[in-house]
Chains A and B, each alone.
Chain A
């Protein structure tokens, strides 16, 4: 299968192409729909495209060679530079500014009985917000010169702050590689929630946590909550023998500017993410007696 384009917008990967969402789903990557309607952004019960992927999803896709990170802004620059007259003339891809809309807005303004000052201000705003002609560029067509707009994984990871990413990702990978689907776990008070298959067809089975630094009260609280919602509370962690070296956690980084070129890559983070790890997992639930 061709690698899925993972467009980086700001410090997030946002998938705008429905076909790519389908491809990812077949790979067991669900993501979270995050788009609202531009006309009603407060409507957030039913969200749509773009699909936002978690850092762990992105790392899994890239290191397993299912996806390739692309700098969305640069990609669009490259594509725009390649457009020829035929593209400009193709009505499917070009949205032309409609002057009639401006006239209607001006008419509405005139009816509002605004003071002169306000009217001038409103007209100025209208002028500033005017949408010029623009082109719809698909996010998926591979263009020549691919190196000019791809982003290596370490650069992408240096764009955002993350906490315990390496150990979290090892937990994520060990669960995912057993065939489970994974979503963010905050809804059930965990790090991840695990599904036996596609979440549209199955209820979640597991509330997954990293097994570092947890107390007995966490086991009771987590186990009791999980059992109450017909799930199990899973802990996953490294089972180190006494003489095995302490693993090195990735350096925490301060938030950096989004400009990709100005950030220095973390040289060894990808190695740390992909190194083999033997993790133990245990599933906890209330015993139902006592």
Chain B
């Protein structure tokens, strides 16, 4: 199974996200069952970028390119994206990457 499919299946069946969609075989969008952060809007669309833990090619340029790519897809630069990190032991972990320097969340 491809990297993006692994994360997509995990979001749908394990984390119970709805309307998960692939974009350009690189980025996923979808709606989590409940708000991820208290201050989020109701039914906020989330953007997830899959990435292999073993991938050594990782830089600030790449993060910036994800924001640019998602801006092209959704016409708006998102305030944050989520990175879905796939390990070779079938673990998938998710981390937020916020644009700029933001305060830590309160919840």
User: Using a CB–CB distance below 8 Å, which chain A residues touch chain B?
Assistant: 175, 178, 180, 194, 196, 205-206, 211, 214-217, 219-220, 223, 226-227, 230-232, 234-235, 237-240, 280-290
Contacts and interface: CB of A to CB of B under 8 A. Distances in A.
Contact of B10 (A206, A231, A281, A290): A290
Nearest to B100: A281
A290 B15 contact: yes
Interface string B77-107: 0000011110000001111111111111100
A210 to B, nearest CB: 10
Contacts of B58: 214-216, 219
Given A205-B103, A217-B53, A283-B96, 20 more contacts: A216-B51, A216-B58, A219-B83, A219-B85, A230-B104, A235-B60, A237-B59, A280-B63, A280-B64, A282-B97, A282-B100, A283-B97, A283-B98, A285-B104, A286-B93, A288-B36, A289-B32, A289-B36, A290-B10, A290-B15
A97 to B, nearest CB: 56
Contacts of A237: 59-60
B55 A216 contact: yes
A287 B92 CA distance: 12
Contacts of A220: 53, 85, 93, 95
A273 B9 CA distance: 48
Nearest to B102: A283
A216 B85 CA distance: 8
Interface of B: 10, 14-15, 32, 36, 51, 53, 55-56, 58-61, 63-64, 82-85, 92-105
B103 A285 contact: no
Contacts of B94: 286-287, 289-290
Name the residue among A217, A235, A240, A289 with the largest chain B CB count within 10 angstroms. A289
A287 B61 contact: no
B100 A283 contact: yes
A231 B100 CA distance: 14
Contact of A178 (B56, B93, B98, B101): B101
Contact of A280 (B56, B60, B105): B60
Contacts of A206: 101
A103 B16 CA distance: 85
B36 A232 contact: no
B82 A287 contact: yes
Contacts of A219: 58, 83, 85, 95
B7 to A, nearest CB: 10
Name the residue among B32, B56, B93, B105 with the largest chain A CB count within 10 angstroms. B93
Contacts of B32: 289
B104 A227 contact: yes
Contacts of B82: 287
A223 B96 CA distance: 9
B95 A286 contact: yes
Closest 5 CB pairs of A and B: A287-B94, A237-B60, A290-B94, A283-B98, A211-B60
Nearest to B99: A282
A287 B102 contact: no
B46 to A, nearest CB: 9
Nearest to A204: B104
Name the residue among B56, B59, B83, B101 with the largest chain A CB count within 10 angstroms. B101
A206 B83 CA distance: 19
A239 B60 contact: yes
